[in-house]
Amino acid sequence: MRQMRVGLLGGGSWGTTVASLVARNAPVLLWARDAATVTEINTRHTNEKYLPGARLNEALRATADIGEAIAGADVVVVAVPSQFVRTTLESVRAHIRPWVPVISLAKGLEAGTGKRMTEIIGEVLPGHPAGVLTGPNLAREIMAGSAAASVIAMEDQTIVRALQRLFSSGLFRVYTNDDVIGCELGGVLKNVIAIAVGMGDGQGAGDNTRAALICRGLAEITRLGVAMGGKPATFAGLAGVGDLVATCTSAQSRNRHVGLELARGRTIDDIVTGMYMVAEGVKSAPVVMALAERHGVDMPLAREVYDVVRGRSSARKAFRGLLRTAAGAESEAG
């Protein structure tokens, strides 16, 4: 692992956390747009904006030159928000060496195309093995030393086993999976459900209601995920129910926070403007509904979130609408 060099793109909370973890196993050069962040990581070994109070691995180095971060890399990790993945990859195309694996940390879909991040990697950087690292991973908890587990998914199982060792670190355990589609979609779709759960929590719905929303949300995620080519078992694992539970219940969840604020009567524009970290579920909701329509999948929870995000409804109306929905057999939609 010490001979494997890693270029990581993105200086946010999760990108910085993964970079700090991997730096225990191999040299990592992190690229961040903000020159002040680069200086802080290199001199103080912190990133206070995104990880207040956390101490980064002193072996981690940062640069504001994206070409420098990529030129010598044996593995490239993309940790920018989903809507910037394509342009970021286009900017490294001239610097990346042939056949270098590219791993996405983003949990979103591209607006307009509905493409997953590994699909974008395949389009922009053909010939580079593409994969995803995903799971119930709250950056601040991991940096505080709490145990966590994740999944790395790729089609090539030889490469994925080598990368499993690269990303595994101390109490951060990494499993492998060959279901790239299912793992990516689990990470995307849970964000939309977390907004729904936040809207319920913000209206005092209680633990029973939260559990019901999570379970019915998982049913929606699984239906669409399988329709798009994912494996059912994936959604019962870390990339599915694991990530869903963490995002729907944690006070650190940005998407649940959006739901809570919507329940307080704030507009989505006001909420997003006040956040310096991206809540992917806001951008993903319209794309998810377009995919659900395309694949003929009913997603009542996601539809209510979509209507609120688009300003067509309110959190209160959405919650009442869900309570009025008729219940059929548990295996059915709705």
pLDDT tens-place string over residues 143-167: 999 999 999 999 999 999 999 999 9
Question: 255 and 132 in one domain?
Answer: no
* Pairing state between β 148-153 and 172-177: parallel
Phi, psi of 109, rounded to the nearest 5 degrees: -120, 150
Question: 193 and 174 in one domain?
Answer: no
Phi, psi of 63, rounded to the nearest 5 degrees: -150, 155
Query: What's at 279, amino acid-wise?
Result: A
d(CA 303, CA 315): 12
Averaged pLDDT for residues 309-322: 83
Helix (H, G, I), strand (E, B) or coil at 70: helix
d(CA 21, CA 13): 12
Instruction: Indicate the number of domains in the chain.
Output: 2
Out of 115, 190, 283, 317, the active site residue is: 190
Whether 333 has a pLDDT exceeding 60, the answer reads no
Catalogue the E-assigned strands of 27-143: 28-31, 61-63, 75-78, 102-104, 130-134
Q: Which of 21-30, 229-238, 279-288 has the lowest mean pLDDT?
A: 279-288
Whether 7 has a pLDDT exceeding 90, the answer reads yes
d(CA 46, CA 69): 19
> In CATH, what number is assigned to the domain containing residue 45?
3.40.50.720
pLDDT tens-place string over residues 170-215: 899 999 999 999 999 999 999 999 999 999 999 998 899 999 999 9
Per the CB < 8 A criterion, the answer to whether 198 and 256 are in contact is yes
pLDDT of residue 297: 96
Residue 191: in which H helix or E strand, if any? helix 180-201
Question: 195 and 173 in one domain?
Answer: no
pLDDT of residue 326: 47
Question: 172 and 77 in one domain?
Answer: yes
> In CATH, what number is assigned to the domain containing residue 271?
1.10.1040.10
Averaged pLDDT for residues 223-244: 97
> Higher model confidence: residue 60 or residue 267?
60
Question: 238 and 112 in one domain?
Answer: no
CA distances from 27 to 117, 200, 250, 296 (A): 25, 44, 32, 46
Structure tokens at 112: 């307009």
pLDDT of residue 330: 58
Averaged pLDDT for residues 86-98: 96
Does the annotation mark 190 as catalytic?
Answer: yes
Question: 223 and 134 in one domain?
Answer: no
Give, as one character, the DSSP assignment of residue 83. Answer: G
- Flag whether 222 is in a domain: yes
Whether 331 has a pLDDT exceeding 80, the answer reads no
pLDDT of residue 54: 97
**Full domain range(s) for residue 258:** 188-324
- Flag whether 42 is in a domain: yes
Cβ atoms < 10 Å from Cβ of 127: 8
> Higher model confidence: residue 86 or residue 268?
86
- Flag whether 104 is in a domain: yes
State the greatest distance between any 2 C-alpha atoms of the chain, in Å, as a whole number.
Answer: 59
Q: Which of 25-34, 39-48, 137-146, 274-283 has the lowest mean pLDDT?
A: 274-283
pLDDT tens-place string over residues 107-148: 999 988 999 999 999 999 999 999 999 999 999 999 999 999
Identify the sign of the CA torsion 216, 220, 221, 227.
Answer: positive
What DSSP line would sit under 11-47, residue for residue? -SHHHHHHHHHHTTTS-EEEE-S-HHHHHHHHHHS--
> Higher model confidence: residue 2 or residue 281?
281
Identify the band that residue 327 occupies on the pLDDT scale cut at 50, 70 and 90: low
Question: 220 and 81 in one domain?
Answer: no
Question: 197 and 98 in one domain?
Answer: no
Question: 147 and 60 in one domain?
Answer: yes
Question: 172 and 29 in one domain?
Answer: yes
Identify the band that residue 30 occupies on the pLDDT scale cut at 50, 70 and 90: very high
Averaged pLDDT for residues 311-328: 74
pTM of the complete model: 0.92
Question: 192 and 160 in one domain?
Answer: no
Cα 83 to the center of its chain, rounded Å: 12
Closest CA to 255 of 275, 230, 235: 275
Contacts of 105 (CB under 8 A, 6+ apart): 10, 14, 15, 18, 77, 78, 79, 132, 133, 134
For 12-30, letters b (16+ CB in 10 Å) and e give: bbbbbbbbbbbbebbbbbb
DSSP-based helix, strand, coil % in the chain, nearest 5: 50, 10, 35
> In this prediction, what percent of the chain has a pLDDT beyond 90?
84
Mean pLDDT of the chain: 92
Question: 213 and 171 in one domain?
Answer: no
- Flag whether 334 is in a domain: no
Closest CA to 21 of 165, 150, 170: 170
